[in-house]
A and B are shown apart, each in its own frame.
Chain A
Amino acid sequence: MAESSKKKRTVKPRAAKKTPRTAKKPAKKRTTAKGTGTSLAKRILSRLKPAALRIPEETAKESPKREHPVASAGPVMQKMMGSRGYELPEGYSDCRITLLVRDPHWLYAYWEIPDWKIDEIRSAIGHYEFSRSKKILRVYDVSGINFTGMNANKSFDIELNSQAKNWYVNIGEPNRSWCIDIGFLDPSGKFYVAARSNIVSTPRDSMSDEIDEEWMTIDWDKIYSLSGGFGLGRSSGDIKELLKRRLHEELSSGFPSSFMQKPSEENKDFWLVASTELIVYGATEPSAQLTVQGLPVKLRSDGSFTLRFALPDGRQEIPIVAKNAKGDMRRSITKVVEKRTQ
């Protein structure tokens, strides 16, 4: 009997587990063809594509405001949540901007500018001028300095839309320190700061320039290459690329996602499965001994019994024999079943 698969799925363990599930995604993905939220084929493709080619896809942009996907909750969750449902506050009446490092090339900033602060800046700029001002992030490179607000190594501005509450900032350069001001730029180019962030440092994305003196002679490319598992005879440029690509392979699971139910049902072909089972049931004296196909069967206290068998193609002879407790009485019934799948 054909036990065909119900689910189309790849057999590649890590890949199969991480494809997106049924939960609706209310927000657009920020980036495409690179996250785990894409098909395996796409992901393999994106792995092969040098990272450098993908960079233009990523420009500084606001992360989408995400509706919390309660709507897609399954029945259990809906029951659990009931009518209650705590909503987190929009903010905490703070005036601040917080900076986090995402990776060597990207920062993430979130902020909260309360109305009183905006009013304050509006009065300082003047109502009319304020309406022509731009809300911006000013990103400062503060590597190696004690930042005063005036002495940044360099800076650049990102214009925000008025609704934005957070932003991913592409700073392009690893191993530097950064600080961000959020504020308003008036038409004359004067900048009014609403809040200044914490200072963060991005990690290196390649080997350090610092070398212990006694080890100047080491073949660093070789060490680097072997450590990255790339074998020998590669240039440092090659290896840097290879490592970047290696980091895009999934060699860890984070949370053991295999616990999370079933694999993706996306791209599933139209399918049908059908199986058969046979139920044999009956009753005799509760004290009797019963065998089915020669094997003893336990009776319920009322003398009834039920057996359930997966029924393969072919012919089954099922002798059912009962003997009374004393062993001097015997009854038997034989069922013959034939199944075919066409």
Chain B
Amino acid sequence: MEKGYLALVLHAHLPFVRHPEHSDFLEEDWLFEAITETYIPLINVFDGLIRDGIPFKITVSLSPTLIAMLRDDLLQQRYIAHMNSLIELSYKEIERTKWEPQFNHLAHMYKDKFENARWVFCEKYGRDLTRAFKTFLDSGCVEVITCGATHGFLPLMETCKEASRAQIRVAARYFKDVFGRTPAGIWLPECGYFPGHDRYVFEEGIRYFFVDTHGILHGSPRPKYGIFAPVYCRSGAAAFGRDIESSKAVWSAKEGYPGDYNYREFYRDIGFDLDFEYMKPYIHSDGIRVNTGIKYYRITGETNHKEPYDRRWALDRAADHAGNFMFNRQKQVEHLYDLLGKKPILVSPYDAELFGHWWFEGPEWLDFLIRKLACDQDTIKLTTPSHYLDENKRNQVIEPSMSSWGYKGYNEVWLEGSNDWIYRHLHKAAERMMELANDAVRSNNNSPQKIRALNQAARELLLAQASDWAFIMKTGTTVPYAVKRTKDHIERFTKLYEMLKSGNIDEGYLADIGSKDNLFPDLDYRVYCT
């Protein structure tokens, strides 16, 4: 009999980046890299576990913007073109490295991976990877949940409560459109909780959300079981707190697994390392070098000197690390079980893109971990939050404290000198959207064109609110793009607002931005009504 539970949670998210107006757009590569290096490897892990009859439970949140991109025809076509080009490159690499066996077998590995990715994408799941997640959801092994509509950081939207509610409501409805059911849970963007938002979650029929450790610990009244049991908010939604020890094992720069010297070095990519003329067809059309995903070295050590990657050593380490993670969780659970007199639940959330993209061996680590948990022990049982709630109906009622999982635990990452200028515009746009929605609902004279303009205005507001833009401004990388996206969506929103107020809608303009910012086709502006 188990003594406690482990809930692994992978949060998959990318901002909506889709530029039909450009034939080759750098930031669209974020999606392509993530599909090849993270989403498909994870899909393969889950498919393999199901094939082998390994019982497991895991929670995966897919942000609505990511789902929208995965289902978008243009991006699907571009992904296939991207993979065709990458596969061509990998064949050239096999030839080029013929006299360097240590690289040659890696070139073969990449060719195999890319061909597999193209096959999984095109053949197995008919270009739409959300079908894979639908299958997993139906199998009961993977609890797919939602996130804020465009990953807007909700604690900084409080000046217009309808804005936070709309982020959650649009997400829940879109999830239902795609997966045919109400999401069981939601990953609040950046784990950003603001007291009262649990009500919006509950109103959509969503059972639970997650908060960072101190969101529960500083909740009121005091949480009897700390973070080792969920709590109910007064609204009726449950909150699960993040476990620190298991987070550190993976995330921590000092203690985390991904820094192991045998693992693959992320920053040595042939897109930057090889001769310009040779790479030219495979980098950006303006000659900007980009990551290809073909990387031949291992982390090796602290210095610049890098040794060739050895796949066998890396997989051995991944297996060791999976064993270590399991051992530590067993000890943790046994200790807590005695102390609490109750089976604790350890909630371990990670960014999905950490696995495979950043930590190349991450998907294999997860595979080893799940198999070991299933076959080698019975102290810990994998669970999902809704499964846990089904089995444990009585939980303490507390109000969690405002918190996020960002640096320093609150709102500072998204509210500091580099990005604070956006809020006066975002808040104004949200108020205007609410005004437009209320006016339109009161009026019984809404032409189809006006309704389209209202829905598009809602899309522009949602896109402007994506937390990614503020985050990028803070980190200082690709800042101009984030600034431009913020301004573009505010501009588009403002123009639509002015058109709607004046009653003169420019159809050409509406059609143009509608073809660019085309996510959430069934969005209904009335989510912004008071």
Contacts and interface: CB of A to CB of B under 8 A. Distances in A.
Interface string B275-291: 10010000010101011
A260 B267 CA distance: 11
Contacts of A227: 213, 216-217, 223, 226-228, 241, 244
A258 B29 CA distance: 12
Interface string A10-31: 1111111110110101011110
Contacts of A92: 424, 428
Interface stretch (B45-53, B368-376, B455-463, B475-483): B475-483
Contacts of A103: 408-412
Given A11-B301, A86-B491, A104-B410, A226 B354 contact: no
B244 A229 contact: yes
Contacts of A106: 412
Interface stretch (B74-82, B311-319, B464-472, B504-512): B464-472
Most chain A Cβ neighbours within 10 Å, of B159, B336, B475:
B475
Interface stretch (A70-78, A117-125, A152-160, A319-327): A70-78
B125 interface: no
Interface stretch (A128-136, A139-147, A217-225): A217-225
Interface of B: 13-15, 22, 26, 29-30, 33-34, 92, 95-100, 103, 155-156, 158-159, 190-191, 195, 213-214, 216-228, 241, 243-245, 247-248, 251-254, 256, 258-259, 261, 265-268, 272-273, 275, 278, 284, 286, 288, 290-291, 297, 299-306, 336, 339, 351, 353-354, 357-359, 396, 401-403, 405-413, 415-418, 420-421, 423-425, 427-428, 467-468, 471-472, 474-481, 483-484, 487-488, 490-491
A98 interface: yes
Query: What 5 pairs across the A-B complex have the smallest Cβ distances?
Result: A227-B226, A229-B244, A5-B304, A208-B220, A247-B409
A220 B224 CA distance: 8
Given A87-B487, A255-B472, A259-B29, 4 more contacts: A100-B415, A251-B252, A252-B251, A277-B275
A331 interface: no
A110 B225 contact: no
A243 B214 contact: yes
Contacts of A76: 26, 284, 286, 288
B95 A309 contact: yes
B259 A254 contact: no
A75 B480 contact: no
9 contacts: A23-B478, A74-B288, A215-B222, A253-B351, A256-B14, A256-B357, A256-B358, A259-B29, A275-B275
Contact of A206 (B100, B218, B259): B218
A226 B336 contact: yes
Contacts of B95: 307-309
A27 B418 contact: yes
Contacts of A181: none
A104 B417 CA distance: 18
A229 B484 CA distance: 41
Nearest to A13: B258
B481 A77 contact: yes
B484 A259 contact: no
A88 B492 CA distance: 11
Most A CB within 10 A of own CB, among B223, B243, B357: B223
Nearest to B495: A86
Contact of B248 (A8, A110, A251): A251
Nearest to A37: B476
B247 A251 contact: yes
A68 to B, nearest CB: 5
Interface string A104-116: 1010101010000
A119 B217 CA distance: 50
B415 A108 contact: yes
A100 B251 contact: no
Contacts of B258: 13
Contacts of B259: 11-13
Nearest to B406: A254
Contacts of A13: 253, 256, 258-259, 266, 358-359
A5 B305 contact: yes
A50 interface: no
